[in-house]
Amino acid sequence: MHDFCNGDAFVSASGRIGNRSHGVDIRMPSLQRFAALCAVAAICAGCSRELPAAPPATSASPADAPATKRVVGPLSEADAQALATMNDRIKGYLALHDKLEKSLPKLPTEATPQQIDSNQRQLEKLMRSARANAKPGEIFTADAQPVIRRLLTTVFGGPDGKQLKASIMDENVVDPVQLKVRVNARYPDSVPLTSIPPQVLQTLPKLTEDLEYRFVGAWLILLDTHAHIIADYIEAALPK
């Protein structure tokens, strides 16, 4: 008869127990032989079973999250199309941003803070001039805004919603009306930038490094990080 188990340890039907790797071969009495056979058979049965696969991640990263599958679940085709109108506007904004930024003198490799600030303010002026007639809703389109509000309501209405909102509001005790938040306005230098929880970033359309989502009070703004201006905003986007 064949030996039990295909690993290094074995117990043969004739009563030998040993280890192939170390050349051990021990004769055993019949009672002990039977017990050893049962033990090794149980071990081998466990060896033959594959370990269960690791559970999938609960959410994709912003870079990997497809347009129709986000933290809050798959979007309807209509919602995906509505967000696509915003994505088209973002592309247009970034094309203008890149064109104007390239028209500025190139910063030296080891630019001083003063040179960086001057470059930023020059870009700010160029962007403001090029978008002199820009109004709220030019990037956060009328089609996209209801979808974004609904997505945020779902995120903040979840089990971690209160904690997520608290993490934003703890560093965001400001009134956007008093701060005069408006399109093309410079983001107030005296107001710290809020941290945006990953759950929110994974829900909203992905941005490039030139643009960031931030909350000012309950308003969601689109911040141009290079020009330091507010490209667009949605009032009362943060659910109560």
pLDDT in tens, the chain (240 residues): 444 444 444 444 444 444 444 444 444 454 444 454 455 444 444 444 444 443 333 333 344 544 444 556 678 899 999 999 999 999 999 999 999 999 999 999 899 999 999 999 999 999 999 999 999 999 999 999 999 999 999 999 888 888 888 888 887 778 888 888 999 999 988 888 888 888 888 889 889 889 999 999 899 999 999 999 999 999 999 988
- Whether 12 and 5 have beta carbons less than 8 Å apart is answered as no
- Provide the β-strand partners of residue 78: none
As a whole number of angstroms, the distance between CA 187 and CA 223 comes to 8
Quote the pLDDT of residue 72: 61
Locate the domains of the chain by residue range: 9-48, 79-234
Query: Under 8 Å CB-to-CB from 234, ≥6 apart: which residues?
Result: 136, 140, 145, 148, 149, 219, 220
Quote the pLDDT of residue 160: 85
In the block, which residue shows the tokens 């759950």?
A: 199
Helix (H/G/I), strand (E/B), else coil: 42: helix
Helix (H/G/I), strand (E/B), else coil: 144: helix
Residue type (1 letter), 73: G
pTM of the complete model: 0.68
Quote the pLDDT of residue 100: 97
Quote the pLDDT of residue 203: 87
Please give the DSSP secondary-structure letter assigned to residue 186.
B
